[in-house]
Structure 1
Amino acid sequence: MVLKCCKVFFLIFLILSSCSPKFHFSEISYVQDFILDSYKINKGKKEILSLMKESFCEISKKDFEIQKYKLEEDDVLNISIFHPIRKDLEEKIQKLSDLNFFQIKNGKINIPNFDEIFILGLQIEEVAHLITSKFTDEIKNVKVFVNLKKSKEKTVEIVGLIHGIHKIDEKTTIFDILSKIGLPPNCDLFKSCIIRDNKKLLIDFVKLLKEGDMNENILLRDSDKIFIPGDGESKIFVMGEVSKQSLINMPLGTITLKEAILKAGGFLHSSNTNSIQIIRTAFFNPKIYNINFSDIIALPDRAILLIPGDIIYVAATPITDWNRFVNDILPSFALFDSTFNGVKNLRFIINE
């Protein structure tokens, strides 16, 4: 099995190595830029996705507002009226309500002695006003009361590492559902997201669940999908003159450069720690930081942060021809990107 996988990887590498497109970059960035970008990373998922050049839909105030219910097909209404004299009419309407007579079909309900009334998409108060106006044309002093007797069940679907369908109401939040189902320890909170109308909403699950930031706790809507991937979705790749070239999981979306080097077993004696390259995003136009490890060794962790997709390359000798370096080494990164990028799983879920 291992041999088979290696053969596949090797074939992909050969194909990618022979591709005609060349890789270009505008300039080399140095430690100051790396530190500035690290402080952006500290702000959370929005800044990280911007650095990764990934698209997303930002949440708004409306995502925290309880929506007034709008009537849907097959909803059943309970309608009653009050009239100081026409008790017979009161009883008739009440009996029909008891028999579930006022069910929306083709967007309409049928009121005795009146034409069908189109109410699909209206709110309960609007329906009461509309029916009152119909009665008032024929009978004065009628008061109409309407409430929702039966409606379509609202649900959200959990996909990815865990699966399930859960009932919600207009007040159910993400935190309510996640507290109910309980997340496994091997999930990737950074790549977790809400999919609504085939779009990924920008929800920072790390801030919500690790920091208790309720500014991320939006209300769920019917047919939302909550994507919870496994912990292999967010990774960095450490290669070059280290003890063990490694793919390193980072389920919270960040890891420090020092921690990444440590997880890769540390530097080899042949390594040139004055020339550590961090290649970030934009496959055909990457941003490359050239870092001297001695410049960052005393810096706080928040100043030396990596993000998913970063590739750390520890050179053996100083790099003099950057264009040649990029074009020689990035086919390996294409292999890393095409083989391990978990976003592909998400594309099937959101029907892209």
Structure 2
Amino acid sequence: MFRSISLIPVLLLSACALVPGMEMKTNSPLSHIEVPTMRDGKLVKEKAKIIPITADLIIDRENSKQQGGSNLPADNDPMTSYKIGPHDRLQITVWEHPELNDPGGEKINPDLAGKMVQDDGTLYYPYVGNVPVGGKTVDEVRELLTAGLSKYFKKVKLDVRVLSFQSHRAAVVGQVEHPGIQSMNETPLTIAEAISRAGGVTKEADTTNVTLSRDGKLYKIDVMKLYEKGGADQNLLLKDGDVLNIPDRRDNKVFVMGEVGRQQALQIANGQRMTLSQALAEAYGVDFNTSRPGEIYVIRVGEMKPEIFQLDAESPDALILADQFSLQAHDTVFVGTAGITQWSRVLNQILPGSFTSVMSRAAFMGM
């Protein structure tokens, strides 16, 4: 028995090497380890900055959020007229010259009728030859053909219309009833129209974090704001090659770990806000007997741009800041463990019996 108790000072001295679980290093304003970080379009290794949660931080973040719009694509000018492109089919009607018109007229399947624009943007027409129609409007093509046929016919009158729209298409994927490719026509295709064509969103859709992929860049679109608050700035016009992705809300979870009543993953309701204080409350609060209230962290990966926020909750009024600090999907909330708690856990694991039992016997023997 004496030998067992004599080991205690040695174990306490070497406890740092034996403590199970996790511990944040707070001697530096940077993370203890290097993490993958996106910098200038490339992944590099950096230490993440530890940012104190203060009133100034919350004010700056809320003001930036209110300004909004900065993440939306700048090249979103309204499309006034449809631009003809490869694989579109055009119906060209010349009055008083039926020999120049397509046989069968309106009775032919639109997928086969008319004249198809070639890959190089040209269209062949009798007498005129190859006409460069790619990138031009219907009115511009009408003028080109009229000028070309006027060399052979007097008082040429013709009409041009698009029978089949194939050159400009966008994809709507994810949590919609009918995901797939959508062709664009004379009517500009907005985000709301595209979702409607896809049969609307499913029950599992996260409409607050819709993403638009355009020219190799991702833009976040808040469709919930569009639907419920009339946020017209979110109803962008789609362009050829755009991909609109409606994610699954079931992935929107916050992970609470460390010295809390119950470690768990919390679901963020669609369109709802979850604060740091709400997450801690859902996890049955912070255990002030075993934790370090000054070391409450929010770890945010943020598309390879990691951030670590620290709340010093030694004073109860710091919970006001916690109630104003909004969490994001995939955030990890970690509450640090007090040193004495770590030592007792080690001793409980390695001594023959509980640490409490050993100390009780030592006291009984007068040690």
User: TM-score normalized by structure 1?
Assistant: 0.65
Query: 1:29: Cα distance to partner?
Result: 1.9
Counterpart for residue 242 of structure 1: 260
Q: Helix, strand or coil: the match of 1:315?
A: strand
Partner of 1:31: 54
Partner residue of 1:91 out of 90, 98, 105: 98
Could you tell me how far apart the structure 2 residues matched to 1:246 and 1:24 are?
Answer: 27
Structure 1 equivalent of residue 222 of structure 2: 204
Return the alpha-carbon distance in structure 2 between the equivalents of residues 198 and 72 of structure 1: 22
Alpha-carbon offset, residue 167 of structure 1: 4.2
Q: Matches of 2:337 and 2:320 in 1, distance apart?
A: 23
How many angstroms apart in 1 are the aligned matches of 2:124 and 2:167?
23
Q: CA deviation at 1:37?
A: 4.5
Deviations 1:300-335 (A, max 9, x none): 95x3222234332223439xxxxxxxxxxxxxxxxx
Q: Which residue in the other structure is 2:191 paired with?
A: 174
Shift in Å, 1:28:
4.6
Structure 1 residue 243: deviation in Å? Answer: 1.0
Q: Which residue of 2 aligns with 1:264?
A: 283
Change (3 A) 1:151 1:197: same
Deviation per residue, 1:126-177 (Å, 9 max, x gap): 2111112212334454333322233328654443345522645433322234
Shift of residue 46, structure 1, vs aligned partner: 6.5
1:33 and 1:313 map into 2 onto residues whose CA distance is 22
Equivalence map 1:1-352=2 (5 Å): 21=34, 24-26=47-49, 28-40=51-63, 42-43=65-66, 58-60=72-74, 62=76, 65-81=78-94, 87=96, 90-94=97-101, 98=105, 100=113, 102-105=115-118, 107-152=121-166, 156-162=170-176, 164-165=179-180, 167=182, 169=185, 170-179=187-196, 181-250=199-268, 251-252=270-271, 254-270=273-289, 271-281=291-301, 286-292=307-313, 294-298=316-320, 301=323, 303-317=324-338
- The amino acid that maps onto 2:192 is F
Q: Pick closer, same or farther for the CA change 1:118–1:27 going to 2, 3 Å.
A: closer
Which residues of structure 1 form unaligned runs of 5+? 1-12, 48-56, 319-352
Q: Distance in 1 between matches of 2:330 and 2:241?
A: 31
Percent same amino acid among aligned pairs?
Answer: 24
Native 8 Å contact 1:234 1:253 kept in 2:
no
> How has the CA–CA distance of structure 1 residues 44 and 306 changed in structure 2, closer, same or farther, with 3 Å as cutoff?
farther
Residue type matched to 1:262 in 2?
A: A
Report the RMSD for the aligned CA atoms in angstroms: 3.8
Question: What is the CA–CA distance in structure 2 between the aligned matches of 1:285 and 1:101, rounded to whole Å?
Answer: 55
Partner of 1:330: none
Which structure has the greater CA radius of gyration? 2
Higher relative contact order (CA 8 A, sep 6+): 1
Distance in 1 between residues matched to 2:98 and 2:305, nearest whole Å: 74
Higher strand share: 2
Contact kept? 2:300, 2:306, Cα under 8 Å: no
TM-aligned CA deviation for residue 274 of structure 1: 4.2
Q: Is the contact between residue 191 and residue 234 of structure 1 (CA under 8 Å) also seen in structure 2?
A: no
Q: CA 1:103/1:145 → structure 2, altered by over 3 Å: closer, same or farther?
A: same
Change (3 A) 1:249 1:45: farther
Deviation at 1:261, TM superposition (A): 0.7
**Unaligned 5+ residue runs, structure 2?**
1-20, 23-31, 36-45, 340-367
Contact 2:224–2:271 (Cα < 8 Å) also in 1:
yes
Question: Once the 2 structures are TM-superposed, how far is the Cα of residue 256 of structure 1 from its aligned partner?
Answer: 0.8
* Corresponding residue SS for 1:186: coil
CA distance in 2, matches of 1:35, 1:128: 58
8 Å contact from structure 1 (residues 80, 97) kept in 2: no
Q: Distance in 1 between matches of 2:208 and 2:149?
A: 56
Contact 1:81 1:93 in 2 (8 A): yes
1:77 aligns to what SS in structure 2? strand
SS of 2:144's partner is: helix
